Structure 1
Amino acid sequence: MKHVMMVLAAASVLVSGSAMASADLAKAKNCMACHAVQTKLVGPAFKDVASKYAGQKGIEDKLVAKVIKGGSGSWGAIPMPANPQVSDAEAKALVKWIMVQK
């Protein structure tokens, strides 16, 4: 039983650590200049993105492309600029993190 508790505690640290790493990545890549987790700023709140696209097949790849290339029309008149400084791996990590925000 003690071993099971230690494994669960370690898993909890890993999960929360990866969530923090993605929030830190979002800050480092300047996502938070236009977005917040819970409230709309210039762009939509990440929780709203997660809700809008939840369960859609292939959405992660589409959102990864949007993070890197930018886009317009999905959330109103203000376009999302391209982010060529974000690598594919970073964009995938960001999208995975965004999609679990609530």
Structure 2
Amino acid sequence: MKLKHLLVCASLMTIGFGAQAAEPTFESVKDILTKNACLACHAVDKKVVGPAYQEVAEKRKGDPANAELLAQHIRQGSKDVYGPMPMPPNPGISDDDIKKVVEWIMAGASQ
């Protein structure tokens, strides 16, 4: 009977570990950023035309509501958020791709 319980517990632990999401990486969003021309104005760790992704991450960390705000900025564009240069809207990016990019930014925008 104890062996049966041990096997059940081991199975549940394996399932639990598999369910944990991996932290998003730059490699996981690089193709999205490239095909949507995001990297023309943004870099991970330095200001180009727009702010560095790490600057955005630092400004938005700690408040989960910022994820929705970032998604809106990506989809609809923004103005006067990080300076005078407006960010143009990106209506062609999919909701799934926006979600991946926002998760990466909210996780700290690591390289």
TM over 0.5: yes
CA radius of gyration, larger in: 2
In the alignment, does 2:57 pair up with 1:50?
yes
Return the match for 1:79 from 48, 62, 86.
86
The more displaced of 37-46 and 50-59 is: 50-59
Partner residue in 2 for 1:34: 41
Give the alignment's Cα RMSD to 1 decimal: 2.0
> Partner letter of residue 80 of structure 2?
G
Point out where structure 2 has 5 or more consecutive residues left out of the alignment.
1-13
TM-superposed deviation, 1:89:
1.3
Partner residue in 2 for 1:101: 109
After TM superposition, the score normalised by the length of structure 1 is 0.78
Point out where structure 1 has 5 or more consecutive residues left out of the alignment.
1-6
After TM superposition, the score normalised by the length of structure 2 is 0.72
Fraction of identical pairs, as percent = 34
Moved over 4 A (4+): none
Provide the C-alpha distance between the structure 2 equivalents of 1:62 and 1:38, rounded to a whole number of angstroms: 21
- Count residues with an aligned counterpart: 90
